[in-house]
Amino acid sequence: DAGVTQSPTHLIKTRGQHVTLRCSPISGHKSVSWYQQVLGQGPQFIFQYYEKEERGRGNFPDRFSARQFPNYSSELNVNALLLGDSALYLCASSGTAGQFNQPQHFGDGTRLSIL
Amino acid sequence: AQKITQTQPGMFVQEKEAVTLDCTYDTSDPSYGLFWYKQPSSGEMIFLIYQGSYDQQNATEGRYSLNFQKARKSANLVISASQLGDSAMYFCAMRVLAGSSYDKVIFGPGTSLSVIP
């Protein structure tokens, strides 16, 4: 069975540009969460989506937005890119939202570099 | 505040030896899940082991075991018979209910494990 897939693998952008990152969850999983991992740190929670609705949001500015599609795949959008947005962006899927007793399964991430 | 602490930025272990990676957590919620993930240099986050807050017994998965001491709020990972492929970053994480209908995973800063031949 395919795991969580993310695209693209790597991306280079310049300050002020916009970027869209994509994620396909494990088949049967309906919840997708996004995390930002800055070099040398643990991942930080950005969003959780379930059944196409935003269910929770971390402490990130409004430049960050996301959506989930009917097939449960998801996009993360970041506007007006800053140098500090350079990071590994991880997508995680789980069967449902609002539970603590199952692992979230992560994709390989998209490595975003801002010049 | 909910937080994960990993006090060992880097660890070395001889191949075939056992190693313990420390993790302490802080939450006032009675319900939570504790996880360990492995992150090789390639970046993917690999799930290793899970311990629920209500579980009475320590979790084990192959060479991985979790030493869960609820009163001390610690969840240390023990890797037995270390292999060269175990060299990676290891993250302790806690999945918590963050609102009426969502959850999030809080990660520690990680421990870099190097296995020496």
CB within 8 Å: B95 and A97: no
Q: Which residues in chain A have Cβ-Cβ distances shorter than 8 Å to B53? A: 100
The pLDDT of residue A1 is 63
pLDDT by residue for chain B (117 residues), tens only, comes to 899 999 999 999 999 999 999 999 999 999 999 999 999 998 889 999 999 999 999 999 999 999 999 999 999 999 999 999 999 999 999 999 887 788 899 999 999 999 999
CB within 8 Å: A106 and B108: no
Q: Which residues in chain A have Cβ-Cβ distances shorter than 8 Å to B46? A: 106
Q: DSSP per residue over B44-100, as a string?
A: --EEEEEEETT--S--EETTEEEEEETTTTEEEEEE-S--GGG-EEEEEEEEEE-SS
Q: Give me the residue from A50, A101, A111 closest to B52, CB to CB.
A: A101
Mean pLDDT, to the nearest integer, of A25-32? 94
Distance of CA A42 to the CA centre of its chain: 14
B16–chain A nearest CA distance, Å: 27
pLDDT band at A81 (very low <50, low <70, confident <90, very high): very high
Mean pLDDT, to the nearest integer, of A59-63? 96
Asked if A46 has any chain B CB less than 8 Å from its own CB, the reply is no
Closest CA to B9 of B117, B116, B108: B108
The pLDDT of residue B97 is 86
Asked if B104 has any chain A CB less than 8 Å from its own CB, the reply is yes
B100–chain A nearest CA distance, Å: 7
Q: Nearest-CA residue of chain B relative to A108?
A: B44
B19–chain A nearest CA distance, Å: 21
The pLDDT of residue B102 is 86
Asked if B40 has any chain A CB less than 8 Å from its own CB, the reply is no
Closest CA to B15 of B85, B82, B86: B82
Rounded to whole angstroms, how far apart are CA atoms B55 and B97? Answer: 17
The residues facing A26 across adjacent strands are none
Q: How many contacts (CB atoms, under 8 Å) link A and B?
A: 86
CB within 8 Å: A56 and B96: no
A107–chain B nearest CA distance, Å: 6
Rounded to whole angstroms, how far apart are CA atoms B112 and A103? Answer: 22
**Collapsing DSSP states into helix, strand and coil, what is residue A73?**
coil
